[in-house]
Chain A
């Protein structure tokens, strides 16, 4: 990424060069060369459309296609079979007049379920990865930017005090008081963080430097990397009450380390770049420097890994579903359609094959697209192709 950053500064200096291709045009040209990535993107786009359309068609109080409508008399019908009109109530007849992808063990329309599942699976992937990216960028940025700043004893003590008080209060009084306490603590912490004036005697002990912000955050990353990730996710998901939110949050909380490392490395090198130094010299606030100048330059590789991360999250959800800890009903996901269907592998193979292939194709397209993006955004690799 170093290169794209330097491109920036260069273009500012050399006016006499002919106008460059815009980034988007350049991107498009590169993408067209990489046919696998292009195919990935097309499928990716198609999947997005399907997911959105699916969400629109299957949600609401009386959806066009009802994925949870049970028609027991129509269970395990093969794909493309027509409904048995005599045994159905008028409102139970599938609106398409045919079960496009067959029905499952409860007679629910697999097509409708797949449509709904597309949206839910996508949400799981996006939210989980979104959480991971936000945490990763925040911690990675903190560590890369403030890396050398030491943490003082006083801050640690304050933090413990805060935790202790919060725990104590939460037993005694209402939530509002707890929130108030936390706010007060944060303000105090910030003051101490700013407090650079020398103090004497015992108070100077509070200023004793323990370890740097960077060491703390890389330590945290190391700790998180020690856990076998699928096993950790499984443990937490199995022990907590099943809910789609828990699954998203847990996948997110256990997969931010890559993003954090990327961003940290980027920030470490960006910090030393001229445009950052210049911005700081102009007195631009840290906040603005980070979010206006540094994050946009560091985010590209994170986005690439996020694309692949979404694919990973969809697979993880499928794996959890197989073990019985996936997204619980009423949400249909491709993962739980697949793992429910496998019990009928000999009696109704389409219940396994359809979601299995769907996951395969979509995850593949995410991966190919992500990989293509990586190649395109990384000119160093590009020139060697």
Chain B
């Protein structure tokens, strides 16, 4: 196990290095310049632009810029070009905003997908199965922003309550509980929207996994023994079907930083996705690269964790 961990760690570090190079290169090799050096703004004279370029090291050769950037990043000193704030601080702020969305979204996805998927597998081929299959695909197939507008207009016009933003503005005088519930309410729509695709995919996956396991000999044996159907499904089959899902917990990790740009823009949710999007618009290179870099780290850590979990859960696998 230890050699596996070591090997895996080395491999991931190498991968990370290449990711860092690629994300740096993609951003810096693209045509155009950061908006801080926007020369069409009559307020920016040539000297000002030149000074900005110097401050951002844009006048240095690319490999030096690369080294300088990652040196600053690892020292925690890199700052956004747009507003001069620390990049990590900015990401941290946004991360805290995105976190509730992520948690509620994941909660909805994971709790809902299992019963739906299992039920579909049990009643395979039936009306329920076909309906859920159809619904699942319907959810994947709607353009996200279209769905969001439809939902918002529906909720706003029928229930007459605000849904935009993280809280109802101007509610600062209200009680503690009210404020918490207000936040929960504002979480509801965006997290449902964010979870739709997840629910669809995961419930389908649960269904297929259940079907796979139900075809196995030991389930047939259990059934042949005359155990009640429910026990066969929920005890013998489910337990084994669950195995691969344990490893999927690791893969949830990257979602932490991958807030949806579109949903966050529509709901004016100040999350990571929107920050990254605005950074792209302003060509705020440090923020773009750092977000990419951190999400790559999360992906790698996630796969690492899921490998580990798999080893722990499935004794047959020895690496």
Contacts and interface: CB of A to CB of B under 8 A. Distances in A.
Interface of A: 35-36, 219, 222-223, 225-228, 230-232, 234-236, 238-241, 311, 315, 318-319, 322-323, 335, 338-339, 342, 345, 352, 356, 359-360, 363-364, 366-368, 371, 381, 383-385
Contact of A338 (B14, B22, B146, B276): B146
Interface in B244-282: 254, 257-258, 261-262, 265, 273, 276-277, 280-281
Interface string B82-101: 00000000000000000000
B112 interface: no
B261 A232 contact: no
Counting chain A CB atoms within 10 Å of each CB, which of B19, B124, B153, B291 scores highest?
A: B19
Contacts of B30: 236, 239-240
Interface of B: 11, 14-16, 18-19, 22-23, 26-27, 30-32, 124-125, 130, 133-134, 137-138, 140-146, 149-150, 153, 208, 211, 214-215, 254, 257-258, 261-262, 265, 273, 276-277, 280-281, 283, 288, 291-292, 295-296, 299-300
A231 B124 contact: no
Nearest to B144: A319
Nearest to A341: B146
Contacts of B153: 345
> SS class of chain B's interface: helix, strand, loop or mixed?
helix
B258 A384 contact: no
Contact of A311 (B31, B141, B215, B300): B141
B292 A228 contact: yes
B67 to A, nearest CB: 20
A235 B141 contact: no
A265 B179 CA distance: 53
A319 B143 contact: yes
Contacts of A335: 143
Contact of A227 (B150, B265, B280, B292): B292
A228 B125 contact: no
B261 A231 contact: yes
B26 A236 contact: yes
A365 to B, nearest CB: 8
A122 to B, nearest CB: 16
Contacts of A228: 254, 257-258, 292, 295
Given A227-B23, A318-B145, A384-B124, 15 more contacts: A223-B15, A223-B18, A226-B16, A231-B295, A235-B26, A239-B26, A239-B280, A240-B31, A322-B262, A338-B143, A345-B149, A359-B143, A363-B140, A385-B124, A385-B125
B215 A384 contact: yes
A359 B145 CA distance: 12
A235 B299 contact: no
28 contacts: A36-B134, A219-B14, A222-B11, A223-B15, A225-B299, A226-B16, A228-B254, A231-B258, A231-B291, A231-B295, A240-B30, A241-B31, A311-B141, A318-B143, A319-B145, A322-B143, A322-B145, A335-B143, A338-B143, A352-B146, A356-B146, A359-B143, A364-B137, A364-B138, A367-B141, A371-B137, A384-B124, A385-B125
